[in-house]
Structure 1
Amino acid sequence: MEEKLFNGFKLTEELSQIVSHKIIQEQYTDAIKDAFLFLTGYIREISGEDGDGVGLVGKVFGGKTPSVKLSKFQTESEKSVHEGIQSILRGLYQAFRNPRNHDYHSDDRDTCLRIIVVIDTMYKYLKENIQSYSMDDVIDSVLDPFFVCSEVYADSLVSNIPLPNRFEAFITIINEISKDNLDKIKYFIEALYRVFDAELIESAAEFVANKLRGKTPSETEAYLYLLQDDMWKYLPKDVKMRAENMIISELKIGEIYSGLLKHQFGKWAAKFGEHFEMKDDLREAILNRLDKSWYSQDYISRFYLQVLPKLFNDEKDIQEITRGIAYAAMSNKAREFRKELLGVVSEYPQEWKSSMRKSIELRIYEDESYGNSLLEKLK
């Protein structure tokens, strides 16, 4: 029936099912429009892109690094063929689809069949020639001993991965984590984050969450290294709170003694603490460390002094933390803490500066020279 309908030409089954009944009913212009809708849907499907018509074709097949390639796209001949197919697709939309969308048309059977055969030919060509992307290629490119740890290089690698394969690439590389390749993977993962939309970012966080379940602090650390700070809010509460409890527990005993860092896992609240469920427990732990020895105070200065304003927000909390800072710097005179504090206080919010000035002034008698240096930076 179909071959008779198209004068011996056999359409691909997918397109035939869409247009045949319209042709039998002599709805020729509608059949052409439906054929273009089918082609547009296929291009969106293989690319993961939105859009329509010429704009969609340009977005998917255009540019120096097209998101969908019709060959290895390495030789001039391969690039020329690719550009030719792109031009044909653009021409199809401009010459045959757009006029029927913008103006009234009444096509005869012969015109309808000829246009649909061309559309089917392009669909079949795309289906047979689109380059599949192997996840082995992703692994090889990221674990390459000559991988360049730079945003430019990582962004270039990601641009070569078709949109529909990018989340699969994320999963593939996360499964390759080891201490030896963590920096390479971080650059690559962050390049993926830059092209992920909000939905994919959330999906990425959920995937990492499953990796975190039941892990020890040392096993968890690599995954925290790869998460963006605001992705914490997407983690399920059970995963999030368990990780928070581990971090806070390590923070409570964290020290820097003669340059030796102990319990470094406690540092991760500096990155994610703003989004903690257990923020009250975190604040209490930080205040407690400020009230102890040089070793605990220097630990806080190494990881937390710059981010404290994100963790202590209301007036009472600010008063408490600035009193703790003043004690560590003015009364206990923790050496590394004092140096670090001089470098960050000028960046504190105005409400913090006001509270800091009061706390420093109350203890100015303990070290007038250092206290005046702080007050100068708090103006």
Structure 2
Amino acid sequence: MDLKISIDQDLWEAIEKNYENESYASAILDAMHLLTNTIRNKTGLEGDGSGLIGQAFGGENPKIQLNKLQTESEKNIQKGTQEILRGLYSAIRNPRSHDKYSDSKEDADSIIHFIGYLLKIIDKSKMSFEETTFLKRVFEKHYVKTEEYSDLLVNEIPKRQRTNIAISIILQRKKGDIANFSYFLKSLFNKLEESDLSQVYKVISEELKYTSADEDIRTILYIVPAKYWGRLDKVVKIRIENILFESAQSGRIDLSNGRCRDGYGALGSWVKSEHLMNFEDIRAWTSMIVDKLQSNDEEETAYVEKYYWNKICRVNHNDIHYWLEKYIRDGLNNKEEEIVKKLANEIQFEKDHPWWKVFEEELKNFPEINYCELPF
């Protein structure tokens, strides 16, 4: 038997070096290693040996299904194959991993050929998790927009396939409901490991590298958890932040309907507090927002009041920027009702808010501003 032409190319490439060198025991181990990786890659599991086989082929709903598992015969095939695979690890792989073995060419041919047979069975098997089928549940109109539902869906994804699912949604984000994706990706990102996040953010950075289109940028801002903004490639990050800055700087509200005027700040309105916290130059943003608050143009002021006042206060919570501090202090000294009200709303429900100390002298003139416990 010419093993090279009687087994699949992938298997031959895995064993070729040791087999041609007549290191037959090592060639058998190479074949077992391919078998292990094939099962891991198909299931997303991380285990090994008998434990991996049990997780992949066992249980009421095995990750690898060799048939429909309806008849007794089909169930026996599933169970029997599982036992054969367990036996391969116990009787074939483990002894050769722990002790010195001198297998003949004939033994190696027989064992490797049988492993090739099992690989073909696994290749034809049905997966209990299929990416395309799963993604339909995220894109469907009946997606339940709750944290619980999103967490339950994410828990169904094999560990090794989480990154691919995240990337698929990001690349297809314009084809579905971005509210669905926002809930889902928040749950999914909580499960991603450091290396997974790095892969995902390479894709996101590529998506943003050259675009200036509002839709490209705002969909990313909306669906990807804002706390990870700092993971973007820095050159991409700086460029996109500049685009957002220019949008916010031009922002105006049509006072007749409360909406952004066409071409004036719509993109900037998608920035969240956590984005701002991770922006490169928050001082420039604070200064720009204060300038707009002091503008004589009511449409400019209305824009930052609606989209940025609460956000910029949150970002400046622990270390207030000079221009924001001056804006509030001048307002207190001049007894400007709107600014007094803004400060009260910001600090009165937080006993240890740093701004109590910052504006301590000015607040002596406003005894009505006191700490109030929230009613719940």
Q: Which interval holds the TM-score relative to the shorter structure?
A: 0.7 to 0.9
Residue in structure 2 matched with residue 69 of structure 1 by the alignment: 64
Residue in structure 2 matched with residue 364 of structure 1 by the alignment: 364
Mapped pair 1:276 → 2:271: no
- In the alignment of these two chains, the number of paired residues is 359
Match of 1:304 among 306, 309, 312: 312
User: Is 2:290–2:327's contact at 8 Å kept on the other side of the alignment?
Assistant: yes
Structure 2 unaligned spans of 5+: none
The one-letter amino acid of 1:282's match is: W
Match of 2:184 among 180, 188, 198: 188
TM-score by length of 2: 0.73
Distance 2:94 2:273 in 1: 55
* CA-based RMSD: 4.3
Mapped pair 1:285 → 2:295: no
C-alpha distance 110-172 of structure 1, shift in aligned 2 (>3 A): closer
More helix by share: 1
TM-score by length of 1: 0.72
- Aligned-pair CA distance for 1:147: 1.8
Structure 1 unaligned spans of 5+: none
User: Is 1:232–1:275's contact at 8 Å kept on the other side of the alignment?
Assistant: yes
The one-letter amino acid of 1:332's match is: E
Mapping for residues 1-379 of structure 1, pairs under 5 Å: 1-2=1-2, 10-16=6-12, 19=15, 27-47=23-43, 50=46, 52-58=48-54, 60=56, 68-71=63-66, 82=78, 84-107=80-103, 112-131=108-127, 136-161=132-157, 166-178=162-174, 181-212=177-208, 213-217=210-214, 220-252=217-249, 260=258, 262=260, 263=265, 265-266=268-269, 268=271, 270-289=273-292, 295=302, 296-297=304-305, 299-309=307-317, 313=319, 317=320, 321-327=324-330, 331-334=335-338, 337-338=342-343, 340-342=345-347, 345-346=350-351, 348=353, 353=354, 356-365=356-365, 367-370=366-369, 372-373=370-371
Superposed CA offset, 1:203-250 (max 9, x none): 333333444443344653222011222432333445423332233344
SS in 2 for 1:125: helix
Q: Say which is worse superposed, 89-98 or 326-335, in terms of deviation.
A: 326-335
The one-letter amino acid of 2:99's match is: D
Superposed CA offset, 1:5-63 (max 9, x none): 9xxx9444443565578678764433432322232333344455555433444565567
Distance 2:344 2:79 in 1: 60
SS in 2 for 1:276: coil
User: Is 1:36–1:97's contact at 8 Å kept on the other side of the alignment?
Assistant: yes
Distance 1:327 1:90 in 2: 77
- Aligned-pair CA distance for 1:357: 1.8
Superposed CA offset, 1:145-176 (max 9, x none): 32222344334444555566554443443344
Distance 2:348 2:278 in 1: 25
Superposed CA offset, 1:67-106 (max 9, x none): x533587858777755554443233212322222223444
The one-letter amino acid of 1:224's match is: L
- Percent identity over the alignment? 25
